[in-house]
Amino acid sequence: MYKIKQIPEDFIVKEINELKTEEGQYSYFTLKKTNYTTEKAVSTIAEYLKKSRKDIGYAGAKDKNALTEQFISIKGPIKKQDIKLKDIELKYIGNGKERINLGDLKQNKFIITVRNLDELNLKVNEKLQIPNYFDEQRFSENNAEIGKAIIKKDFKKAVDLILGDNLKQSGFEKDVKEHTLKKPNDFVGAIKRIPKKISMMYVHAFQSLIFNETVAEIIKTNTDDYKTVNYSNGIFIFPNNEMQNQKIPLIGFGTEFKDKKIEEISLRLMEKHKINLRDFIIRAMPELSFEGDYRDMFITAENIKTEIKDDEININKKKCIISFNLPKGSYATIVIKKIF
């Protein structure tokens, strides 16, 4: 079985962006990090600089177990110099008038070392069509199940799932636990103790699960030539030939289906989960109500290059260093699953 992320240097991510530098109130830096989520790194930087967390913006969240490079903006007066902290390095680029916000990037470039391989003669084209699945990072342990409970208004179950692992009750989980001890039946209040970004992530995870199931079902109904890969929330289906791309809904209360077959599949999957579109209106927590969106069913990995060498970590095995570019919001680990 192949292995990735045996060491942080095995998974390198670099943002591709076109920042316009000019006189302005925002300072732009390149953030290089290891062993940090982007949010944790940004919070650490804010604390070090004695800035509000809201003063720092970034375009996309990057993996913790990786060596990542991305752009951040910091508002207000700041020394125009490089900064080094433990596992965090900031390189000053220049200033500008615009804050960097989520989505403000063109692509991500990945350089991934795939290890523990037997002898192989790998041939991959420079471009490769990939189903645009959400991968394990989106779901973590039980994010989708928590999101489903919130959507179904079973707030008690959501809180029970959040507090299910007593060993991990630190940070916001501790706040949730304290609230339940003070007000045992106020489950909405307990969920509101969670940072908004995280509570939104739960609902997004369930939307992502339905998206994955829809894409897999469409592929399966349109071709018999495919391969399957198991993951924590089901099965990925990869067609062996290219298929026509189309927009697939990330379902919400305002979803309008543009294709009859996609509508039939989505409604069938929602029925399986015992939900409907109106369930995405959460009156007790309007901030978690989602209208819905659309996402490409397929994306293209571009500029693919591979190099095979001896694996210095796994004896008598080979490693493949593979690089490629992906659109924002797509998962490099899905590319690896497709190829290997």
| Predicted local confidence at residue 88, as pLDDT | 96
Give me the mean pLDDT over the 189-218 stretch: 94
Tokens describing residue 259: 């294709």
The residue extents of the domains of the chain are 18-105, 133-296
pLDDT for residue 275: 96
Stretch among 115-119, 126-130, 138-142 having the lowest mean pLDDT: 138-142
pLDDT-based confidence at 7, cuts 50/70/90? very high
pLDDT at 19 over 90: no
Across residues 46-75, what is the average pLDDT? Answer: 92
Segment 98-122, tens digit of pLDDT: 999 988 888 999 999 999 999 888 8
Report the pLDDT value the prediction gives residue 169, as an integer from 0 to 100.
56
18-105 under CATH 3.30.70.3160, yes or no: yes
Residue 179 pLDDT class (50, 70, 90 cuts)? very high
Q: What is the mean pLDDT of residues 255-265?
A: 93
Assess whether pLDDT exceeds 80 at residue 243: yes
What pLDDT is recorded for position 165?
Answer: 60
Mean per-residue pLDDT of the chain: 93
Residue 26 has pLDDT above 80, yes or no: yes
Find the catalytic residue in 10, 55, 63, 311: 63
Is 135 catalytic? The answer is no
Q: What is the pLDDT of residue 168?
A: 59
3-state secondary structure the chain: CCECCCCHHHEEEEEECCCCCCCCCEEEEEEEECCCCHHHHHHHHHHHHCCCHHHEEECCCCCCCCEEEEEEEEECCCCCCCEEECCEEEEEEEEECCCCCCCCCCEEEEEEEEEEECCCCCCCCCCEEEECCCCHHHHCCCHHHHHHHHHCCCHHHHHHHHCCCHHHCCCHHHHHHHHHHHCCCCHHHHHCCCCHHHHHHHHHHHHHHHHHHHHHHHHHHHCCCEEEEEECCEEEEEECCCCCCCEEEECCCCCCCCCHHHHHHHHHHHHHCCCCHHHHCCCCCHHHCCCCEEEECEEEEEEEEEEEEECCCCCCCEEEEEEEEEECCCCHHHHHHHHC
